[in-house]
A and B are shown apart, each in its own frame.
Chain A
Amino acid sequence: MNAIDALPWWAAVTVAFLLVLGGLITLLGTVGLLRLKTFYQRIHGPAITITLGTGCILIASMVYFTVIQSRPVIHEILIGAFVLMTAPVVSMLIMRAAIYRDPRTGGAARVARDTTEAQPPSDNQDG
């Protein structure tokens, strides 16, 4: 790990802080995935992993490679842009699939096709 020892201290501290923060946030999102009660609550847990956790680690990677290669390395932005563009689509599709399959609503998502009024599922009951 010779490359690491050549790092100036400010870069090392920044990268270390971002890595620790990103790791903790990633862990926290999956703790939410495991701990929350209903599916509709669980879908919000991984959202913080995807946005802030990924963001922290991508910025850490950018700072690290920029400093050790002493040229701007910013192609991690591509991963960030891709994840930020696709994560909303994924969560919306999973949510609609869940509502469609929810036995309590009988498929409220069918409202999109039938234009009949359907009640959204109430989230108070334990599911």
Chain B
Amino acid sequence: MTVGTLLSLAIGFALVCVVLAMMLCTLRLIIGPSAQDRVLALDTLWMCTMLLALMLGIRYASQIYFEAALVIALLGFVSTIALAKFLMRGEVIE
């Protein structure tokens, strides 16, 4: 087994893991009994998407995905804060 196949196998395995994780998050997002469960699942989904972008960066040996991951992390934080604030007060801007 050469170095290249080992790394390709590892990247493939990790990609499958993260995509499975995103599916589980989506499942919780759909069935989640309460609104806070859904917000938590959405936040985890953002995180997994960021990890997926980083892994694709390794897979295609491209640095472009770093910027994508940074933007995804920023957007995820802001949107989750807004949603949590909305759950608590019923309005975002007060």
Q: Do any CB atoms of chain A lie under 8 A from CB atoms of chain B in the complex? A: yes
Enumerate chain A interface residues (CB-CB to B < 8 A): 1, 3-5, 7-9, 12-13, 15-17, 19-20, 22-24, 26-27, 29-31, 33-34, 39, 42-43, 46, 49-50, 53-54, 57-58, 60-61, 64-65, 68, 73, 75-76, 78-79, 82-83, 86, 89-90, 93-94, 96-98, 100-101, 109
* CA distance in complex: A3, B61 (Å): 7
Given A15-B10, A61-B54, A61-B58: A5 touches B3 (CB 8 Å cut-off): yes
Given contacts A12-B3, A93-B84, A98-B87, 14 further A-B contacts (CB under 8 A): A13-B6, A17-B10, A23-B15, A23-B18, A30-B48, A34-B24, A34-B27, A43-B40, A46-B43, A46-B47, A57-B51, A60-B58, A76-B54, A98-B34
Interface of A is mostly: helix
**Which chain B residues (9-41) contact chain A, with CB distance < 8 Å?**
9-11, 13-18, 20-22, 24-25, 27-28, 34-37, 39-41
Contact check, B21 vs A42: say whether CB atoms are below 8 A apart.
Answer: no
Give the number of residues in B that approach A within 8 Å (Cβ atoms): 53
The tally of CB-CB contacts under 8 A between chains A and B is: 172
Q: Are A65 and B47 in contact (CB under 8 A)?
A: no
Check A39–B3 contact: CB distance below 8 A. no
Asked if A42 and B37 make an inter-chain contact with CB atoms under 8 angstroms apart, the answer reads yes
The 8 Å CB contact of B66, one of A31, A75, A86, A101, is A75
